Amino acid sequence: MEAAFKAIIPLVMVVAVLGMAFAMWSETLMMNVTVNTGEVKVKFSGWGCSDTGPDPQAEGFSNSENKDVATCSVDVELYDDANPIKLHVVLNNTYPGYSADITVIIDNIGTIPVKLLDHEISGVDTTALSVSLTTPEDTQIEPGGNSTYILHIEVLQDAEENTSYPFDVSLTFAQWNEV
């Protein structure tokens, strides 16, 4: 029996050593992680047309009589969650040489910085109107911030009499590191 104990002791020692080695190699660490993503969300917060009195004129034209016959209106065309995201512009009773600037303010109501990715001016009669967008030098808008854009419109010589000229304006923004 004594011989049996002497044979078992080394076996018990080997099992104990292997058990300790196995325990060291099987340690488990756990970590709980929560990731919250940001949101890209912008809106038009203000807009207006420069024609608030005598008709503004394009370069080379004059309104020295201070006539006020044309109108320029800007209204919301489309909302997203009660936020204006598309504007509708209508020019009425205009004539060649009439020019107006529409100033729009864009608010970043999301949680991450955004930059202008693209813009669309749809429905413009390009034979009658020249429409261009002037953007800030840096189009990045921080969360809670805003930026001003100017849409310049000129009525061309081929504009027709007794015609209204409507068109829509959309600006597309993306997260700052995609642009």
Nearest alpha-carbon partner for 155 in 68, 65, 88, 55: 55
- Return the percentage of the chain with pLDDT > 90, whole number: 73
Q: Is the dihedral of CA 23, 24, 25, 29 positive or negative?
A: positive
The string of pLDDT tens digits covering residues 22-38 is 655 667 888 899 888 89
Q: Which amino acid is at 134?
A: T
- Measured CA to CA, the distance from residue 9 to residue 11 in angstroms comes to 5
In the chain, the percentage of residues whose pLDDT exceeds 70 is 89
Q: Report pLDDT for 143.
A: 98
Phi/psi of residue 6, nearest 5 degrees: -65, -30
1 pLDDT higher than 70: no
Residue 154 pLDDT > 90: yes
Contact 96, 161 (CB under 8 A): no
| pLDDT higher than 80, residue 140 | yes
Helix (H) or strand (E) segment spanning residue 83: strand 83-92
Amino acid letter, residue 162: N
Question: What are the sequence ranges of the domains in the chain?
Answer: 42-178
Q: Residue 38: phi, psi to the nearest 5?
A: -85, 180
Stated pTM of the model: 0.79
> What is the phi-psi region of residue 153: left when phi exceeds 0, alpha when psi lies from -120 to 50, beta otherwise?
beta
Residue 18 pLDDT more than 70? no
Domain 42-178: give its CATH code.
2.60.40
Report whether pLDDT(93) > 70: yes
| CA 16 to mean position of chain CA atoms | 65
